[in-house]
Structures are given as structure tokens and as C-alpha cells.
Structure 1
């Protein structure tokens, strides 16, 4: 049997960061489509989002490992959503101190200090469900061959051109 190793924490964090960053860009593009009817589908984000999403989903991974046998999917997603709001508020508050917070929900009726908005509770709930069921579970399954079992193209010091 071929020996393999799982992804290290930094690789998993990177995958989670890329997933969150891409989802935010897609979400903002679709949001604009429904509000301006523009088919340009221009999505936007901030580099801060990369760190924010990577860390949030990485911590969700740890929560999944702890909560999986203790509660059902619905309750886990509720806990993840509460975590998401806590993390979004905390990071937004810190960024705002440095005038670097890229979001402002002040125009939403359910906003709290403009840093979070309750109107996003359902989308966050389902985003957390997708993060657990698709992103985290599959990322934890990813494996690489050990150095002794690398494919021939990677086992040489030079890559053939």
C-alpha cells in the first residue's frame, strides 16, 4: 500500500482562505446582479478577507472535529453561524480602529455597529453548512504521497520541459 500524508495546517488554512475569498467575490457579484441588473458580474473583496476567511474556516474545522459526535448538523451550523458573527464583528472592530474595515452594514436595519447584520443569518447558516459538508470534510481527506512514493516527474531534481 502506498504511503501518504495529509495536508498540514498551513495548506488547509490556505484552501479555506481561497474558498472564502472566492465565495465573497461571487456573493458580491450576484448581489449586484439582483440590485442593479448588471450582467457584468463584478465581484469585490479585500485582502483582509483572505486572512479572515482562512482563520474562520480553520477554526470551524477544529469545531467540527470536537462537535461531530456531540450534536447534529443543524446545531453545528447554528454554532458555526454564531462563531461567524463573532469573528466578523471582532475582526471588523479591530480593522475599524485602524480605519481599515472594508465592510459597513449601517444601511441594514438589523446591523450592529455596522459590523454585522442579522439579515445575513440565513446565508451565513447555509454557507457554514457548505463549508463543513464540502470544503472542510474534503480538505481533511486530501492526501499527498510521501517523498519515497513521489511520481517520477517529481522525484528528479529537474522538471522536464
Structure 2
């Protein structure tokens, strides 16, 4: 489980850098600068908790599974953002007054991205389990 926490953390950091780089290009930055905060590593690592959910909902339709992941990711993002801001005193992200932002902690317009990310997580989870079974 610890190894998968690290893998999910690193995969999330990479995903965020690519996402931010893509949006910088869309804004006209041909340098395609993507960035993240190392504070995000443990948050992405928490995807290890989604493994239990994945195993429980594996046989449900794709739309339902993606919706479940979206809600769980929003919940984790909101709670961790609140903890970072109000307890630790840092803000790795702040959506401020952006439309569809909830207390600056989550963006509801990111629902499609989290939907897809959740389904990609399933593929990564299955690959990691498959690799583990081949090694054992």
C-alpha cells in the first residue's frame, strides 16, 4: 500500500503539471509552463483510499463509477484544502472568486476532469495490482 501511495502521489504531480502546462498553452504561453506544489503529493497519494471504492463499484456502469470518483475527489480536495488553509497555514491552491468555486477550495467546473481522472485511476490501479501479482 505504501508503494502505491508514492506512485499515486507522483502520478498526480505529473498529471497536474501536464494539466497546467496545457492550460498555459491555451492562454498563449508557448513555453507551456506547468507547475504544482509538493504539498499536493500526499493529497494525490490519498488515491490509495479509492482502491477500496474501486473494488466495491467495479461492476457498476462507467457513468456511475465516474460520478462516485468525482464526488470523492471533490470531498478530499475540499477537506484537504481546508486543513491546509486553516490548520497548516498554506494554500497550495486557491480558486478565490473564480465562478463555480466553493470557498476557493474546489471548482465545480472541474467535475469532468475529476470524472476522467477517476476512471484513469481505475486503469492505473488495475495495472499496479497486475504487476504486483506477476512479481509475487
> What TM-score comes out, normalization by structure 2 length?
0.92
Match of 1:48 in 2: 39
RMSD: 1.3
Runs of 5+ unmatched residues, structure 1: 1-8, 147-161
What SS does the corresponding residue of 1:61 show, helix, strand or coil?
Answer: helix
1:32–1:107 distance in 2 versus 1, CA, 3 Å? farther
Structure 1 residue 145, shift from structure 2 partner = 4.0
Q: Report the structure number with the largest CA radius of gyration.
A: 1
Structure 1 residue 107, shift from structure 2 partner = 3.3
Q: Is the 8 A contact 1:108 1:119 kept in 2?
A: no
> Number of matched residues?
134
What SS does the corresponding residue of 1:41 show, helix, strand or coil?
Answer: coil
Q: Is the 8 A contact 1:110 1:119 kept in 2?
A: yes
Match of 1:112 in 2: 102
Question: Higher relative CO (CA 8 A, sep ≥ 6), structure 1 or 2?
Answer: 1
Structure 1 residue 112, shift from structure 2 partner = 0.5
Higher helix share: 2
> What TM-score comes out, normalization by structure 1 length?
0.78
Runs of 5+ unmatched residues, structure 2: none
Q: 1:132-156 CA deviation, whole Å, 9 max, x = no partner? A: 1x2111111113646xxxxxxxxxx
